[in-house]
Chain A
Amino acid sequence: MDAKQWGVYVHIPFCRQKCFYCDFPSFAGRERYWEDYTGALCREIAVRGSYYRQQWGKPATIYLGGGTPSILPEKFMKQLLSELRQIFLPDGKAEEFTVECNPGTVDEPYLAMLRNRGVNRLSFGVQSFDDTLLKRIGRIHNGQQAVDAVAMARRVGFANLSLDLMYGLPGQTLEQLKESVEQALSLKPEHISIYGLQLEEGTAFYRMQELGKLNLPTDDVTEAMYDYMTEYLPSQGYERYEISNFARPGFESRHNMSYWQDVPYLGVGAAAHSYLDGQRWAAFAELDRYMDAIKENRIPVEPEEAATTAIAIEEFCFLALRTAKGISREKFLQKFGREMDVWYGTVLRDLSARKLLVDDGRYVRLTRQGMKYGNLVFEKFLLDAQDF
């Protein structure tokens, strides 16, 4: 079988403390699970991973996300990385091998260990350099720790670092945000992600907002923050290659791009999602259920909605539209056998007329305005039952 591009995601559902805005499947205070969970991951990698490795060849990217992958003690992290290398990377190298880190959980030897075992990219959840703000949103680290972590990563040889920043946080001002952005830029990361705070049900912030105790910036301020970052970062050499992602040329996250470019990926671990042969799968989110399944030699996943052509087309489009490159008309034709105009002729004309997207005949992509109102555009790419 020919080698094809694919990626591996490994989910580490642990953190020291749950951030107040976080609705990801991750748990604090589950130290007793670490050992068994690492064992279960290794077993899943050995079984499911080997299968796809044989089918598709070496994956282009590996990504450890969470939770906080860097919370795993060295012993378990080593065990996990060895397994990943053994199964996926016979030559020891991946094109892109990322580990998400919390700046408050790493030291230099730990980062060196990651580097020595093939990890070539780190993504730091910095969020802000303002200590009061960090505390207010439930982060366990402070601004100085972020500065230090980046310095350590550089010292041990990481040449590809990403920083996450958040805006629209409770009590945050535009000035504070600008300061954090300047500090981030002074660390010269290769990649920056920016996320506006979203209130998700079930989070501490959601409840606080319901009680009227969350002092969020006004819509005007949040929008000014968005405008500032989407204008300023490109002016500083960080190209906006996706709605929320900026990178120096050549440092776009390949792994994340694969989500938007219809590239298959295998998700390993509790709550990890996979996209294999056109079907999306979700692993059991409860730790016990996940680990029991592994123990009993069962595949720990269940299918999300049954894949239909309509869903495939919709997702193909709205995911590709998130990227600056946009939808490749040629890829669309290859995959679905017909020009995209068959389904979207009117939509494309209408949205072009409203200057929300540009169609140059090869690619269909969002304008700057289109990115700002992305949801309105994406919505138009949902198909009605009668289209089939």
Chain B
Amino acid sequence: MQNKNIRNFSIIAHIDHGKSTIADRLIEYTGTLTKREMEAQVLDNMDLERERGITIKAQTVRLDYKGKDGQLYQLNLIDTPGHVDFTYEVSRSLAACEGALLVVDAAQGVEAQTLANVYMALENDLEIVPVINKIDLPSADPERVKEEIENTIGLDTSNAVLASAKSGIGIEEILDSIVDYIPAPEGDENAPLQALIFDSFFDSYKGVIAHVRVKQGHIKKGMKLKMMATGKTFEVTDVGCFKPQPVDVGHLDVGEVGFVAGSLKDVRDVQVGDTITFADNPAAEPLPGYRGVTPMVYCGLYPVDSSDYDNLKDALEKMQINDAALVFEPETSVALGFGFRCGFLGLLHMDVIQERLEREYNLKLITTAPSVIYHVFKTDGSQVDVSNPSDLPPQTEIEHIEEPYVKATVIVPNDFVGAVMEISQDKRGEFKTMDYLDENRVMITYHIPLNEIIFDYFDRLKSATRGYASLDYELADYQESKLVKVDILLNGDPVDALSTIVHKDRAAGRGRQLASKLKEIIPQQMFEIPIQAAIGSKVIARENVRARRKDVLAKCYGGDISRKRKLLEKQKEGKKRMKAVGSVEVPQEAFMAILKID
């Protein structure tokens, strides 16, 4: 295909603004798949994704479209993950494109995450085609939304397409706009290869399959190639495009988007953002923007049934095959036994992995409260990274601790500015900027500890703003904070998995809240259970779970036996998620209690 007939684009949209539906319609309209072949949402093909209405793994599809001028165009849609955890992945997907559709809900307007992605697209010099979707909603106000786009982003909206993907309105116009406004890719067919990896997945027959955009040069079957960052070399066994299932076409030319495979076994050899080049005649420079995977949030994963340890290990290894961002290493907890410390891109990533482990591998897990990575500077001059509160050195050995801060961007209707500020201050945020997007909507930025973000910041924002707040954040820097470890003792014994690191000024309050939350969660047992929160040896809060009352079926005669056994089975089932910590049975949710206190 001649470069001038290729268009590479992605779709930027907030959750629920209709990205997947638009993608479906484009696939359908261009005949890439017949309606019969289409699942409801082709691009979001994991169950979980469909359930949550978000895209976790990027997907790519090549659409063949005959333009108004009668020429055949190759349109490559690169779908991007739609969540703040995956900012880096989004940036690489955008770097593979020349343009993007900006899809905005005609009733709801621009949201924080959309904005973040638009800025990222602009940084990558992408041409942006605004699409106002859901124009047939009664509450649609396309003119206001256009104005908002012009005010906030400074985009010219005179070429904006008015569409309703659901009703099939504006689909042809979208395709024509892609052809008309998004530039064709440039590049030298004969230069040394530079192909950008923007995603990868594991196929049990072909090994790791890399999603690539050829920036310079070309790829053919049989070529010897090399990953510039990881140094891994391989021979191309399969190369082709997605329709949307992979189709081996034997080559990818400059400007094209598709996949490469070559018996690569380890997904970590195929890093998002890396550049593929010729093994023998490499490009002088890799493409810009590569960075290694850096987990932001850590938590412990433990099997409820300790005999499941090996199963959990297998499952994590299998997941990692397809998810280079997931890291884990064995960890031992006094309370929970053997498990794994796992690192994630963010809370959603963590949730998704945990749910998949339980759903796909049928494991019952205990997850400890998530933690960020603290930089601990010790009095002996050394520095350690701590992602598990129970690993924090004794207070006497700590010179100071630094914690990660993020730049958080919140967009809300102006009525809620006060609420956002109140919550953000309460979360130790430092106010940075406030800008009016239009008369009604305000964008506020805060410099705020990541630790506070993962502790229910967004939940509180949403409930204080009746769901209107949208949030985006990116790692800013590390700063010194006065942090202490709060330990929890059950029945007099410290439970390492319940320890948490909090700011000194809030430690007493957190300790009290945590103790009283645990009192609600931990069921009565045969003896009274004291719950204490302590900093070092100083107890800062105390609660008691009273001893449970007698619990025995009074009557069990000839007619009752089967029924009584079923009652016992039900009772046993209810306890499957309890972990015996010493002599206390602790339900799974206790280890997440810290996230549930207000």
Contact = CB atoms under 8 A, between A and B. Distances in A.
A379 B526 CA distance: 15
B575 interface: yes
B552 to A, nearest CB: 3
B561 interface: yes
A56 B160 CA distance: 91
Interface in B529-572: 548-559, 561-562, 564-565, 568-569, 571-572
Contacts of A282: 559, 562
Contacts of A259: 556-558, 561
A265 interface: yes
B571 A244 contact: no
Contact of B554 (A196, A273, A369): A196
Interface stretch (A139-147, A155-163, A219-227, A293-301): A219-227
Given A311-B565, A354-B583, A382-B572, A374 B553 contact: yes
B551 A375 contact: yes
Top-5 shortest CB links A-B:
A374-B552, A273-B559, A219-B549, A304-B562, A372-B550
Given A223-B550, A375-B571, A369 B559 contact: no
Contacts of A243: 552-554
A379 B554 contact: no
A319 B558 contact: no
Interface of A: 9, 194-196, 198, 219, 222-223, 226, 243-244, 256, 259-260, 265, 267, 271-273, 275, 280, 282, 304-305, 311, 314-315, 318-319, 322, 354, 369, 371-376, 378-379, 382
Interface in B355-370: none
Contacts of B552: 243, 371-375
A319 B568 CA distance: 12
Contact of A267 (B558, B562, B571): B558
11 contacts: A9-B558, A223-B549, A226-B550, A314-B565, A354-B526, A354-B583, A371-B552, A372-B550, A373-B526, A378-B553, A379-B572
A372 B549 CA distance: 8
Contacts of B557: 256, 259
B397 to A, nearest CB: 38
B561 A322 contact: no
A318 B575 contact: no
Nearest to A375: B551
Contact of B558 (A219, A273, A372): A273
A375 B552 CA distance: 5
Contacts of B556: 259-260, 319, 322
Contacts of B553: 243, 374-375, 378
A376 B556 CA distance: 15
A271 B559 contact: yes
A373 B550 contact: yes
A314 B565 CA distance: 8
Interface string B283-299: 00000000000000000
Nearest to A274: B558
Given A354-B583, A379-B568, A373 B551 contact: yes
Contacts of A198: 554-555
B562 to A, nearest CB: 5
B554 to A, nearest CB: 5
Contacts of A376: 526, 551
A14 to B, nearest CB: 16
B559 A195 contact: no
Contacts of A319: 556, 561
Given A372-B552, A373-B550, A374-B553, A275 B558 contact: yes
Given A372-B552, A373-B526, A376-B526, A315 B558 contact: no
Contacts of A196: 554
Nearest to A256: B557
A207 B289 CA distance: 67
Contacts of A280: 561-562
Interface string B232-255: 000000000000000000000000
Contacts of B572: 379, 382
Contact of A195 (B526, B548, B549, B555): B555
A167 to B, nearest CB: 9
Contacts of B571: 375, 379
Contacts of B569: 382
A272 B558 CA distance: 9
Contacts of B548: 373
B559 A379 contact: no
A10 B412 CA distance: 73
Contacts of B561: 259, 273, 275, 280, 315, 319
Nearest to A63: B558
Contacts of A222: 549-550
A9 B560 CA distance: 13
B565 A318 contact: yes
Contacts of B526: 354, 369, 373, 376
Given A280-B561, A318-B568, A373-B526, A379 B575 contact: yes
A267 B550 CA distance: 32
Contacts of A315: 561, 565
B491 to A, nearest CB: 13
Nearest to B561: A315
Nearest to A378: B568
A238 B56 CA distance: 69
A244 B561 CA distance: 16
A244 B564 CA distance: 15
Given A198-B554, A304-B562, A354-B583, A375 B549 contact: no
- The residue among A194, A219, A222, A271 with the most chain B CB atoms within 10 A of its own CB is A219
Contacts of A305: 562
Contacts of A314: 565
B524 to A, nearest CB: 10
Given A379-B571, A379-B572, A272 B550 contact: no
A257 B553 CA distance: 16
A319 B560 CA distance: 11
Interface in B313-367: none
B508 to A, nearest CB: 32
Nearest to B526: A373
Interface in B65-112: none
A374 B548 CA distance: 13
A371 B571 CA distance: 17
B559 A267 contact: yes
Nearest to B569: A382
Nearest to B570: A379
A267 B560 CA distance: 13
Nearest to A376: B551
Nearest to B562: A304
Nearest to B548: A373
A280 B560 CA distance: 11
A171 B569 CA distance: 32
B237 to A, nearest CB: 42
Contacts of B562: 280, 282, 304-305
Given A267-B559, A379-B572, A382-B565, 20 more contacts: A9-B558, A196-B554, A219-B549, A223-B549, A223-B550, A243-B552, A256-B557, A271-B559, A319-B556, A322-B556, A369-B526, A372-B550, A372-B551, A373-B548, A373-B551, A375-B571, A379-B568, A379-B571, A379-B575, A382-B572
B303 to A, nearest CB: 14
B554 A244 contact: yes
A272 B550 CA distance: 30
Contact of B555 (A244, A311, A371): A244
A196 B559 CA distance: 18
- The residue among B553, B558, B575 with the most chain A CB atoms within 10 A of its own CB is B558
B425 to A, nearest CB: 43
A325 B236 CA distance: 75
A194 B557 CA distance: 14
Nearest to B556: A322
